[in-house]
Amino acid sequence: MSGLFSLCVLFFAALPVQAQTLLVVGDSLSAGYGLRQHEAWPVLLGDRLTRAGYGYSVVNASTSGDTTANGRSRIDASLAAHKPAIVIIALGANDGLRGLSLKSMHDNLEAMTRAAQAAGARVLIAGMQLPPNYGPAYTQKFAATFSDVAEATRSALLPFLLDGFATDPQSFQQDGVHPVAAAQPRIVDNVWQALKPLLGKPR
Protein backbone atom coordinates (compact mmCIF):
# COMPACT_ATOMS: atom_id res chain seq x y z
CA MET A 1 0.00 0.00 0.00
CA SER A 2 2.83 2.39 0.84
CA GLY A 3 4.40 1.70 -2.55
CA LEU A 4 1.15 2.49 -4.33
CA PHE A 5 0.78 5.68 -2.31
CA SER A 6 4.30 6.74 -3.24
CA LEU A 7 3.59 6.13 -6.93
CA CYS A 8 0.43 8.24 -6.71
CA VAL A 9 2.33 11.06 -5.04
CA LEU A 10 5.00 10.97 -7.73
CA PHE A 11 2.38 10.89 -10.48
CA PHE A 12 0.47 13.92 -9.25
CA ALA A 13 3.69 15.80 -8.48
CA ALA A 14 4.74 15.30 -12.09
CA LEU A 15 1.55 16.80 -13.48
CA PRO A 16 1.93 20.36 -14.77
CA VAL A 17 0.41 22.97 -12.47
CA GLN A 18 -2.38 24.80 -14.26
CA ALA A 19 -1.74 28.53 -14.54
CA GLN A 20 -4.16 30.89 -12.88
CA THR A 21 -5.76 33.57 -15.02
CA LEU A 22 -5.12 37.28 -14.74
CA LEU A 23 -7.85 39.16 -16.59
CA VAL A 24 -7.34 42.67 -17.96
CA VAL A 25 -10.54 44.61 -18.61
CA GLY A 26 -9.69 47.88 -20.31
CA ASP A 27 -10.05 50.17 -23.29
CA SER A 28 -7.75 51.06 -26.21
CA LEU A 29 -4.87 51.89 -23.85
CA SER A 30 -4.82 48.22 -22.86
CA ALA A 31 -6.07 46.73 -26.14
CA GLY A 32 -2.91 47.93 -27.90
CA TYR A 33 -4.47 50.43 -30.25
CA GLY A 34 -2.07 51.21 -33.11
CA LEU A 35 0.37 48.50 -32.03
CA ARG A 36 1.15 44.98 -33.06
CA GLN A 37 -0.56 42.50 -30.78
CA HIS A 38 2.59 41.34 -29.02
CA GLU A 39 3.58 44.94 -28.17
CA ALA A 40 0.60 45.75 -25.91
CA TRP A 41 1.38 46.02 -22.22
CA PRO A 42 -0.86 43.11 -21.11
CA VAL A 43 1.18 40.79 -23.34
CA LEU A 44 4.42 42.18 -21.92
CA LEU A 45 3.01 41.75 -18.43
CA GLY A 46 2.38 38.08 -19.17
CA ASP A 47 5.99 37.73 -20.30
CA ARG A 48 7.26 39.32 -17.10
CA LEU A 49 5.09 37.09 -14.94
CA THR A 50 6.52 34.05 -16.68
CA ARG A 51 10.12 35.24 -16.34
CA ALA A 52 9.57 36.00 -12.66
CA GLY A 53 8.22 32.51 -12.05
CA TYR A 54 4.59 33.38 -11.36
CA GLY A 55 1.97 30.92 -12.56
CA TYR A 56 -0.40 33.30 -14.29
CA SER A 57 -1.78 33.40 -17.80
CA VAL A 58 -2.88 36.88 -18.91
CA VAL A 59 -6.17 37.22 -20.79
CA ASN A 60 -6.62 40.64 -22.36
CA ALA A 61 -10.35 41.36 -22.59
CA SER A 62 -9.85 45.04 -23.44
CA THR A 63 -11.86 46.73 -26.19
CA SER A 64 -11.03 50.04 -27.83
CA GLY A 65 -13.59 52.73 -27.12
CA ASP A 66 -15.04 51.07 -24.04
CA THR A 67 -16.36 53.15 -21.17
CA THR A 68 -16.97 51.89 -17.64
CA ALA A 69 -20.60 51.27 -18.65
CA ASN A 70 -19.42 48.97 -21.45
CA GLY A 71 -17.12 47.18 -19.05
CA ARG A 72 -19.87 46.74 -16.52
CA SER A 73 -22.15 45.24 -19.17
CA ARG A 74 -19.66 42.50 -20.02
CA ILE A 75 -17.81 41.82 -16.78
CA ASP A 76 -20.05 38.94 -15.72
CA ALA A 77 -19.52 37.09 -18.99
CA SER A 78 -15.75 37.61 -18.79
CA LEU A 79 -15.63 36.36 -15.22
CA ALA A 80 -17.67 33.29 -16.08
CA ALA A 81 -15.58 32.51 -19.15
CA HIS A 82 -12.12 32.96 -17.65
CA LYS A 83 -12.57 32.42 -13.88
CA PRO A 84 -9.68 34.77 -13.07
CA ALA A 85 -7.71 34.85 -9.85
CA ILE A 86 -6.83 38.51 -10.45
CA VAL A 87 -8.66 41.21 -12.41
CA ILE A 88 -7.08 44.47 -13.54
CA ILE A 89 -9.76 47.06 -14.27
CA ALA A 90 -8.28 49.74 -16.53
CA LEU A 91 -11.35 51.69 -17.60
CA GLY A 92 -12.49 55.27 -17.19
CA ALA A 93 -10.38 57.17 -19.69
CA ASN A 94 -13.19 57.34 -22.24
CA ASP A 95 -15.68 58.40 -19.57
CA GLY A 96 -13.44 61.34 -18.76
CA LEU A 97 -12.61 62.30 -22.34
CA ARG A 98 -16.33 62.34 -23.14
CA GLY A 99 -17.20 64.30 -20.02
CA LEU A 100 -19.56 61.61 -18.75
CA SER A 101 -21.09 61.49 -15.30
CA LEU A 102 -18.46 60.78 -12.66
CA LYS A 103 -21.10 59.34 -10.35
CA SER A 104 -22.00 56.80 -13.03
CA MET A 105 -18.33 56.08 -13.56
CA HIS A 106 -17.90 55.48 -9.84
CA ASP A 107 -20.92 53.19 -9.73
CA ASN A 108 -19.75 51.22 -12.75
CA LEU A 109 -16.23 50.75 -11.41
CA GLU A 110 -17.55 49.68 -8.03
CA ALA A 111 -20.03 47.25 -9.59
CA MET A 112 -17.27 45.65 -11.70
CA THR A 113 -14.95 45.40 -8.72
CA ARG A 114 -17.54 43.82 -6.47
CA ALA A 115 -18.55 41.38 -9.20
CA ALA A 116 -14.94 40.28 -9.58
CA GLN A 117 -14.52 39.95 -5.83
CA ALA A 118 -17.73 37.95 -5.55
CA ALA A 119 -16.29 35.60 -8.17
CA GLY A 120 -13.24 35.08 -5.97
CA ALA A 121 -10.79 37.40 -7.75
CA ARG A 122 -8.42 39.95 -6.31
CA VAL A 123 -8.77 43.33 -8.02
CA LEU A 124 -6.35 46.04 -9.10
CA ILE A 125 -7.92 49.31 -10.24
CA ALA A 126 -5.75 51.25 -12.70
CA GLY A 127 -6.50 54.95 -12.47
CA MET A 128 -6.24 57.67 -15.08
CA GLN A 129 -5.79 61.43 -15.20
CA LEU A 130 -7.17 64.02 -17.60
CA PRO A 131 -5.41 66.96 -19.25
CA PRO A 132 -5.97 70.32 -17.50
CA ASN A 133 -8.22 71.73 -20.23
CA TYR A 134 -11.13 69.78 -18.71
CA GLY A 135 -11.06 72.16 -15.76
CA PRO A 136 -9.71 71.63 -12.24
CA ALA A 137 -12.99 70.61 -10.63
CA TYR A 138 -13.74 67.82 -13.10
CA THR A 139 -10.16 66.58 -13.46
CA GLN A 140 -9.59 66.39 -9.70
CA LYS A 141 -12.85 64.61 -9.05
CA PHE A 142 -12.16 62.28 -11.98
CA ALA A 143 -8.76 61.25 -10.61
CA ALA A 144 -10.16 60.82 -7.10
CA THR A 145 -12.89 58.47 -8.32
CA PHE A 146 -10.44 55.59 -8.74
CA SER A 147 -9.04 55.90 -5.24
CA ASP A 148 -12.55 56.29 -3.81
CA VAL A 149 -13.64 53.01 -5.42
CA ALA A 150 -10.47 51.23 -4.35
CA GLU A 151 -10.96 52.37 -0.77
CA ALA A 152 -14.66 51.45 -0.72
CA THR A 153 -13.97 47.96 -2.07
CA ARG A 154 -10.58 47.42 -0.37
CA SER A 155 -8.95 46.85 -3.71
CA ALA A 156 -5.41 47.52 -4.87
CA LEU A 157 -4.86 50.81 -6.66
CA LEU A 158 -2.51 52.09 -9.33
CA PRO A 159 -3.26 55.83 -9.23
CA PHE A 160 -2.16 56.56 -12.82
CA LEU A 161 -1.57 53.97 -15.53
CA LEU A 162 0.62 56.36 -17.56
CA ASP A 163 2.61 57.73 -14.66
CA GLY A 164 6.07 59.01 -15.51
CA PHE A 165 5.60 59.73 -19.21
CA ALA A 166 2.14 61.25 -19.72
CA THR A 167 3.60 64.65 -20.65
CA ASP A 168 6.26 63.27 -23.02
CA PRO A 169 5.06 63.69 -26.65
CA GLN A 170 7.61 61.13 -27.88
CA SER A 171 5.87 58.44 -25.83
CA PHE A 172 2.62 58.79 -27.76
CA GLN A 173 1.34 58.10 -31.24
CA GLN A 174 0.35 60.96 -33.55
CA ASP A 175 -3.06 61.20 -31.90
CA GLY A 176 -1.38 62.23 -28.64
CA VAL A 177 -3.53 59.75 -26.71
CA HIS A 178 -2.21 56.23 -27.26
CA PRO A 179 1.28 55.26 -26.09
CA VAL A 180 3.80 53.98 -28.62
CA ALA A 181 5.35 50.51 -28.41
CA ALA A 182 8.45 51.87 -26.67
CA ALA A 183 6.28 53.18 -23.81
CA GLN A 184 4.50 49.89 -23.14
CA PRO A 185 7.25 48.53 -20.84
CA ARG A 186 6.87 51.66 -18.73
CA ILE A 187 3.18 50.84 -18.28
CA VAL A 188 4.18 47.33 -17.23
CA ASP A 189 6.56 48.82 -14.66
CA ASN A 190 3.73 50.93 -13.25
CA VAL A 191 1.32 48.00 -13.13
CA TRP A 192 3.92 45.68 -11.64
CA GLN A 193 4.47 47.77 -8.53
CA ALA A 194 0.77 47.74 -7.66
CA LEU A 195 0.17 44.17 -8.81
CA LYS A 196 3.03 42.37 -7.09
CA PRO A 197 1.40 42.23 -3.62
CA LEU A 198 -1.55 40.37 -5.17
CA LEU A 199 0.52 37.67 -6.87
CA GLY A 200 1.60 35.51 -3.99
CA LYS A 201 4.90 33.66 -4.11
CA PRO A 202 6.62 32.62 -7.35
CA ARG A 203 6.63 28.91 -8.10
Mind telling me the catalytic residues? 28, 175, 178
Amino acid letter, 35? L
How many residues can be counted in the chain?
203
Question: Which of 69, 64, 58 minimizes the C-alpha distance to 27?
Answer: 64
Q: What is the dihedral sign for C-alpha 119, 200, 88, 111?
A: positive
183: exposed, middle or buried (Cβ count in 10 Å: 0-12, 13-18, 19+):
buried
- Asked if 190 and 49 touch (Cβ cutoff 8 Å), the reply is no
d(CA 154, CA 149) in angstroms, rounded, equals 8
